[in-house]
Amino acid sequence: MPLSRALARHQTPAILIVLLAIIACLSLVGQSDALQVTLTEMFIRVVVVVGLYVFIGNSGIISFGQIGFMCIGAYAAAWATGEPTFKQIMLQGLPVFLQEAQYPFLVAMAGAMVLPAAVALILGFAIMRLAGTAASIATFAFLIIVNSVYSNWDSVTAGVSSIIGIPTVVGPWTAYVFAAVAIVVAYLFQVSRIGLMLRASRDDEVAARASAVHVLRVRLAAFVLSAALCGLGGGLYAQFLGILTVDPFYLSLSFITLAMLVVGGMFSLTGAVVGVVVVTAVVEILRALERGVGLGDTAFSLPSGSQEIGLGVVMALILIFRPSGLARGKEFRLFRAAPAAPAASAAEPALQLSESPTSAR
């Protein structure tokens, strides 16, 4: 394949990564703490929502349980990088190799991906046999189980108390790098043979099975990869805050990430990224209006709770006027690949050779 055609075919992840890099440069223009926090949270949510897209967008099954994997990944990173003194006092149920050591950042990120992926592999054998509403309810039940276990397992998770002493090494650029990695991984899965078979089962499961697609296997592969990416987002979140409790990883975060996916469009990678950026911008604008904006001698402010109302209005308008999301299920493309050379041009010499004996007669 010529280089120009290869670039044209795979331009989507490059465009998305460049657009996020432009947004990340805002952290260099404005050095306010609020802006740094907003950008870091946005890039972490890009990782999580891209993880949601890997499973939901390609399989068509709505999962409410992916934030449970984010919770597992966050605690895995906290166990790996937390202060050994704190862990020996408060987390006495941890294995000795976790209690007495403090591992590097990349080791913690690897653990934040491997542990949720292992849980998803075991859980997926049961859930992936279901479809539609039954599968969605099963994933929601998993989220409830994770929240209950982590809220009450005092010797391992500190229960409803906080785990402190986690190194805060994640900033806007670190989160951006991992967001770029998540985009590349999701795109490679999307264009892979497994991704193609999974989308075929999404569009017509009966036809896919008739074409020898093993639906359980391809769904399980997407489920495990999605859990790994969501766990990575959880690990980044723990290393961003430096303090960890189980409360954030429940209904509120589940609905906001699903809202981002729906607003952007759940059937394209572009939609997943655009949804995060747009919803983050809307929420930040509403927050600013809640704090108050000066208009001459008067100050204008929205009542408390306007963020949730505004986000609900945005979602309703998107669902009414663009049911397939802002991206409409399409990917960003700046240019199209040049058409391939016609097959007839290669066949003509062979045709002439085959006819030459006849003409000789």
**What is the C-alpha to C-alpha distance for residues 264 and 315, in angstroms, rounded to an integer?**
10
What is the reported pLDDT for 348? 46
Using pLDDT thresholds of 50, 70 and 90, give the confidence band for residue 352.
very low
| Other beta carbons less than 10 A from residue 19's beta carbon | 15
Q: What pLDDT score was predicted for residue 346? A: 45
Tell me the two tokens of residue 63. Answer: 């999962």
Q: Binning pLDDT at 50, 70 and 90, where does residue 51 land?
A: very high
Separation CA 62–CA 137 (nearest Å) = 9
Mean residue pLDDT of the chain comes to 86
Residue pLDDT, tens place only, 165-176: 899 999 999 999
Q: What is the mean pLDDT of residues 268-293?
A: 88
CA distance 103 to 81: 5
Burial of 167 per CB tally in 10 Å (0-12, 13-18, 19+): middle
Q: Which position has the higher pLDDT, 71 or 315?
A: 71
Give pTM, 2 decimals.
0.88
E strands of the chain, at which residues? 293-295, 298-300
Whole-angstrom distance, CA of residue 148 vs CA of residue 9: 45
- pLDDT on residue 332: 79
The tens digit of pLDDT for each residue in 107-136 reads 999 999 999 999 999 999 889 888 788 999
The pLDDT score that the predictor gives to residue 359 is 44
Q: How confident is the model at residue 78 (pLDDT cuts 50, 70, 90)?
A: very high
Please tell me the distance from the alpha carbon of residue 339 to that of residue 94, in angstroms, as a whole number.
59
Residues 253-275: what's their mean pLDDT? Answer: 92
Collect all residues with Cβ–Cβ distance below 8 Å to 242 and sequence separation of at least 6. Answer: 164, 165, 166, 167, 168
pLDDT at 103 over 70: yes
Q: Output the pLDDT for position 292.
A: 72
CA 98 – CA 72 distance, rounded (Å): 15
pLDDT at residue number 353: 40
Question: Does residue 1 have a pLDDT over 80?
Answer: no
Reported as type and span, the H/E element at residue 219 is helix 215-241
Indicate whether 293 pLDDT > 90. Answer: no
Do residues 81 and 108 make contact, with C-beta atoms less than 8 angstroms apart? yes
Pairing mode, strands 293-295 and 298-300 = antiparallel
Q: Which of the two residues, 283 and 273, has the higher pLDDT score? A: 273
Q: How many residues does the chain have?
A: 361
What is the percent of the chain where pLDDT is above 70?
A: 88
In terms of DSSP H, where are the helices of 128-192?
A: 132-152, 154-157, 172-191
Question: Considering only CA atoms, which of 310, 265, 317 is closest in space to residue 285?
Answer: 310
What is the structure's pLDDT at 172? 93
218-253 pLDDT per residue, tens: 999 999 999 999 999 999 999 999 999 999 999 989
CA distance 57 to 265: 9
Residue from 288, 266, 293, 215 nearest 62 by CA: 266
Res 347: pLDDT: 44
pLDDT for residue 34 is more than 50 = yes
Give the pair of three-digit tokens for residue 84. 């050994």
Domain boundaries, the chain: 9-248
Does residue 340 surpass a pLDDT of 60? no
Residue 148, C-beta contacts closer than 8 angstroms, at least 6 positions apart: none
Q: Tokens 């009966």 identify what position?
A: 206
Residue found under tokens 């043979």:
193
